Structure 1
Amino acid sequence: MDAIIKRENQPSPFDQIKQVDTDGNEYWLARELMPILGYQQWRQFEDAISRAIAACSNIEQESEKHFLRLTAKSTGGRPRDDFKLSRYGCYLTAMNGDPRKPEIAAAQSYFVVKTREAETQTQLKAMTQIQLLAALAQQLAEQEQHLLQQQQQQTEILHRLKAIEVEQDRVNTPCGHKYSVVGFANLQGLEISVKEAGTKGRKASALCRKQGIEIERIHDPRFGKVGLYPESVLIEVFSTGQN
């Protein structure tokens, strides 16, 4: 991040990779910009560019003026995609990058200042400052909402797995303790995915039928009917190896 901030008498790394076309317009190549913004994979950086293009279209700007797709040959001779970005295109790309990257935060600050300085250019004359701020506020709100949804989904999964353990590790019959697959895994200190639990549950059901053991089922408000299996059956299922 420190390398992005311009020091006295030293050019910014963004200025170092800036190019000028035959018409005198400055531009940046996305492939050269990518590592400065903290990205290692082109696919992830291209996603940020795609969001920036969508934002550009939403505020009625001609995206082709700011995001020109290029195809060039790599060192191995294979074609690879690239983009010719205007300063405004770089600005929107930074605003749509991963907000957790410190390089993105520094780039946003840099291009905010430079874009404001360039507002007199032809491609920005049609946009008012209010329109620009409104579009950026909308993009930032959407990014924050997306991260919040991911966190909520992860928390919900953990709560559901813990609820199974609490509700179903409680049956004691003359045949011995009975557990759900997830409850037994937690009892053994094992981590198990929902997919693995389903596979082991089917194996436990098959063993019970083979041994003539009646499968007790209880109702779970989130998952419907859930089977409870004797401890001896679950020990055999879990000892057969990974699925």
Structure 2
Amino acid sequence: MEDLQKYSEETFESIKHINEYGQEYWFARELQEVLEYTQWRRFEETIDRAKIACEKSGNEVSDHFADVGKMVPIGSGAEREINDIMLSRYACYLIVQNGDPRKEVIAVGQTYFAVKTRQQELAENYDQLTEDQKRLAIRNEIKTHNKSLAAAAQMAGVKTPLEYAVFQNYGYMGLYGGLKAKDIKQRKGLKDGQDILDHMGSTELAANLFRATQTDEKLRREHIQGKATAYQTHYYVGRKVRQTIRELGGTMPEDLPTPEKSVKQIAKEQEKKKLK
């Protein structure tokens, strides 16, 4: 995890700009390069999906995506103007959420911007966040995205609570090498009624966040229909996330340690601190 955090800082903070009012922003052309998109046209498609997500979330698109022109050299001292976009941190977050899941850097960027967007009021720098704060941030993101995932699954044909439980299990089986939710709960030594997501560290939570958001996008983007196909889609995405973890040399999620405190306990402690 430390290597990924370092990579996040070097990758995304290094291209951050600050205007005269102290506001941070990113240029889309620079983010395109970092996210390993070779064609601007392909990256624009991702930006367009991010704009739609921004609008659907009730935000003003122009507040987060500002079209600008930029002069670039073309040789012999000449320059030409190209289109670019000034992006807020939230815009960057939406872009990586809608990015190509086959790119390892997308997984890193998704976790980074999720934590930074949610927890900016807690600490200015990502490295200053404690493990508990990271867990809270990512867990809150999962809650938000699971609602969207449930809606996408329903549109695909997953109608009843039982069918949704099966759908969720397929995602877990893909990510956890065949383990279902009850198997994960057993490995963690949890009791009935305890949510496995509340008993994950930040690394494990980040993997599940990536699984949820990318399944949501795939169901919607490809207009998946039929609960059986939806089940397989969730399994496929979970398996791809697992493959990415393996290629990065990471620890498989089922082998990660279970924290002593649950996310609910951490949240209660945070609330008590605010009251003091």
Higher RCO (Cα < 8 Å, 6 or more apart): 2
TM-score, with normalisation over the residues of structure 1? 0.50
Structure with greater strand share of residues: 1
